[in-house]
Structure 1
Amino acid sequence: MENITRRLLQRVVRRFPSQTLRATLDKWERLSEAQRRSLDLSKTKWALTEKLLSICEVCDTFGVWISGVSRVIYVIDNPNQGMWYAFQLLDPKDDAHSVDLTQFKQQFKCHLSQLMRHVSIKIKKHTDEAVWIRIAWGDALSRPDHLKPTYVVYYLQSSHVFMTSLNSKLKPLLSQALVLSTRHRGMKDANLSGRNLTAITDLLMKRYQQVFPTKYPTPLAEKNEIESHPHIEREQAGAAAKRQQMACEAFGGGVLPQLQSAVYKLETRFKDHTNKIMTEREEPFRCVVKFSSVNLLESLRHCASSGIASTPVTPLLSSVPLKGRNSFVITDNGRSPSSQTQQSQK
């Protein structure tokens, strides 16, 4: 076996936590039960690598291993390891709804292989109907780098695509292959990103409990209610119920997607007329505001329902679940500092 192949396997095995290696090999289904039992996970990674090398050489399965099947399985089970970015496919063609998994696999591999000479592609369908794609990129002179792959998650017959670890130079090639293989006419950035893939998927695909406005709202039950004096409860019951209703209408009810941040880029006029230097400048005033939390939507909903933040909720915050985005650019529509301006979101 080539020394470069041996070193590559060693680096791949080192990246796997020992406690998840056996489960990954079980899902891989390329080694027999006896071969899996022969692996002593209490030994060092070097010893495990040597054992795997000997098995792969005998069974001629090393090519399948290094192509990335095992790594795809690991990333599917542990998706929150990097930053994921959401994209939206545009203008589906008439036959877009009829593209099945087999057609998608063939078309995607064919298109991307034509665009990139040295590329390794592995596609696996997950239990939740998501299609996972692992792409190891090379170039005109070098082999694909299996240690720096790009991962893509696509839901068949939908317009949603999620990517991680994608080089900006390779983005046009991957976008073109996805557009052609899914029978669409274009793809755009959905302005939604995060480390929790499940959260941004649920947010973009509206897979959480939504609360819609009603003419006669009823109080929504809160968990872990704090006991208070009965007279105070009667006085504040109406206002509290209204705040809770408005908060749930803005952000949703029940368990919310665990989105971790929202970014607002401000490109607005400086409006302090006592400071003529800043107010009369032609360039807009630029700054970035970022909200961060373990569960941002839950935090914002709590602020609104508890009275910390005013209700009704400002569109700047309610647009996160409504539009399925967490990146916004806020500008002024007015043409001059003295004219009345109106904020808009792009």
Structure 2
Amino acid sequence: MDDSTKRLLQRLIRRIPAQTLRTTLEKWGRLTAAQQRSMDFTQPKWALSEKLLAICEENGLTAKHITELEMTNVIDNPNQGMWYAFQLMDPEDDANSIELTQFKEQFKSHLRELVRPVSIKIKKHTDEAVWIRIAWGDSFSRPNHLKPTYVVHHLQTPYVFVTSLTSKQKPLLSQALVLSARYQAIKDANLSGRKLTAIRDLLMRKYQQVFPTMYPSPLGERNQVVSNPHIEKEQAEPAANRLQMACEAFGDGTLPQLQTVVYKLETKFRDHTNKTMTEREEPFSCVVKFASTNLLESLRHCASSGIASTPVTPLLSSILQKGRNYFVITDNGSGPSTQTRQPQT
């Protein structure tokens, strides 16, 4: 085992939570039952790392096997980095019939034509998602396994989720994905977050939606509380209407745990008391960011409780309707527009 592989294993053991290390190693399946029992998981991480390193050398394991362990851990714990969503555009006639074997062969072939050397590992998860691990190299260096890119793609859907991708690598990955998935183009979905399941559920609409109705009472009755009967009677209808409009804008039940939404303003400054700013030809620019552990739940509560006015402004309801959390607001359109971002390294 060379030094770079040893560093990869040591860093990986430090990252895997102590309470899940035993389970992760069992799923990896590269240790014998006796070797698994010989490990004392109550020891400090450095001691576990040294023990596992000795076992791996004894078993003759290589970087290929260590990346399998890393991939197992990332699939089980995906919320460790920033994920960016992309959408494939203009499908070809056979896009919906492509199978995993075809996709794997095509993706590896196309990406290796674009960049060498490169290490590619593809695995299908139990939820039907295809996970891709890419270690990038160039003409002067071997693939860097310490800084891999992870890609998640659900076959028969146009959605792709990527983490740890540089601007230099983006066009290479985009071309390989477009060709192997049988599409014509790919675009930034302007949706990102640290919880992969949240942005996936938001983009694929895997949450309980509520549609406009003239009879909002079923939603209203669910949240009624015992209070003064006269006050309750007077406030029942407005409260039910607020709840209905909040759920129409943000969905019902459990919502995707989106953590941020960003609005970039590029508008004219309007204030008749400040002629200096108002008469400027350049647009007024600023960024507004909302953050919460569960942003959609927070916004829904604000609207249903009366903290925020209803009906909900399109600036907020567009988060779910358009499936994104990055907007650019200009003077040219009636609603929030968007622009493409480069994923951060």
Q: Does the TM-score normalized on the shorter chain lie above 0.5?
A: yes
Deviation, 1:300, is: 0.9
Name the counterpart of 1:12: 12
Corresponding position of 2:318? 319
Counterpart in 1 of 2:190?
191
Instruction: Call closer, same or farther: CA 1:332–1:306 in 2, change over 3 Å.
Output: same
CA contact (8 A) 2:315 2:336 kept: no
Percent of residue pairs bearing the same amino acid type: 70
Q: Which residue of 1 aligns with 2:279?
A: 280
CA 1:297–1:47 in 2, change beyond 3 Å: closer, same or farther? closer
TM-fit CA distance, 1:14: 2.8
Cα distance, 1:86–1:238 mapped onto 2, change above 3 Å: same
Cα offset, 1:44, TM superposition: 4.2
For residue 225 of structure 1, report the CA deviation from its aligned partner.
Answer: 5.0
CA drift of 1:263 comes to: 0.6
Mapped contact 2:5–2:63 kept (Cα < 8 A): no
Counterpart in 2 of 1:258? 257
Task: State the secondary structure of the residue aligned to 2:252.
Answer: coil
> 1:56: how far off?
3.0
2: distance between equivalents of 1:221 and 1:147? 52
Q: TM-score, normalised by structure 2?
A: 0.92
- Corresponding residue of 1:345: 337
Query: C-alpha separation between the residues in 2 aligned to 1:80 and 1:241?
Result: 36
Letter in 1 for 2:10: Q
Cα deviation for residue 228 of structure 1 reads 1.9
SS of structure 2 residue aligned to 1:69: helix
| Residues 220 and 244 in structure 2, CA contact (< 8 A), matched pair in contact too | no
Partner of 2:78: 79
Instruction: Say yes or no: does 1:307 pair with 2:306.
Output: yes
Q: TM-score, normalised by structure 1?
A: 0.92
Residue 203 of structure 2: aligned partner: 204
Q: CA deviation at 1:75?
A: 1.1
Match of 1:172 in 2: 171
* 1:219–1:242 Cα contact (<8 Å) kept: no
2:56 paired residue number: 56
Deviation of 1:138 after TM superposition, in Å, equals 1.7
How far the C-alpha of 1:137 sits from its partner, in A, is 1.4
Range moving further from structure 2, 267-276 or 146-155: 267-276
Query: Would you say the 8 A contact 2:262–2:287 is kept in 1?
Result: yes
Is 1:229 aligned with 2:221? no
Unaligned runs of 5+ in 1: 334-340
Cα displacement (A) at 1:216 = 2.8
Which segment is superposed worse, 7-16 or 105-114? 7-16
Q: Is the 1:272–1:279 contact (alpha carbons within 8 Å) kept by the matching residues of 2?
A: yes
- Residue 46 of structure 1, CA deviation: 4.3
- Closer/same/farther in 2, CA of residues 41 and 283 from structure 1, 3 Å limit: same
Which digits, 9 at most, give the CA deviation of each residue in 1:271-297, with x for residues without a partner? 112322211211011111111111111
Q: What is the deviation of 1:207? A: 0.3
Change (3 A) 1:106 1:309: same
* Greater displacement, 273-282 / 204-213: 273-282
What are the equivalent positions in structure 2 for 1:151-166 lying under 5 Å apart?
A: 151-166=150-165
- The SS at the match of 1:79 is coil
Query: 1:181 and 2:173 equivalent?
Result: no
1:232-255 residue CA offsets vs partner (Å, 9 max, x unmatched): 000111111111111111111111
In the alignment, which residue of structure 1 is the partner of 2:134? Answer: 135
Q: What's the RMSD between the two structures over aligned residues?
A: 1.9
Deviation at 1:184, TM superposition (A): 0.6
Structure 2 letter corresponding to 1:282: E
Contact 1:332/1:344 (<8 A) preserved:
no
Aligned to 2:2: 2
Amino acid corresponding to residue 337 of structure 2 in structure 1: Q
- For residues 117-136 of structure 1, the aligned pairs below 5 Å read 117-136=116-135
Q: Which secondary structure state, in structure 2, belongs to the residue aligned with residue 345 of structure 1?
A: coil
Superposed CA deviations along residues 69-94 of structure 1, whole A, max 9, x for unmatched, are: 11111111111111111100000101
Number of the residue aligned with 1:112: 111
Alpha-carbon distance in structure 1 between the residues aligned to 2:43 and 2:307? 54
Report the Cα distance in structure 2 between the residues aligned to 1:196 and 1:8, rounded to whole angstroms.
24
How many angstroms does 1:60 deviate by?
3.0
Distance 1:143 1:293 in 2: 41
- How many residues align structurally? 338
Moved more, 304-313 or 23-32: 23-32
Residue of structure 1 equivalent to 2:343: none
Q: Retained in 2: the 8 A contact 1:133–1:152?
A: yes
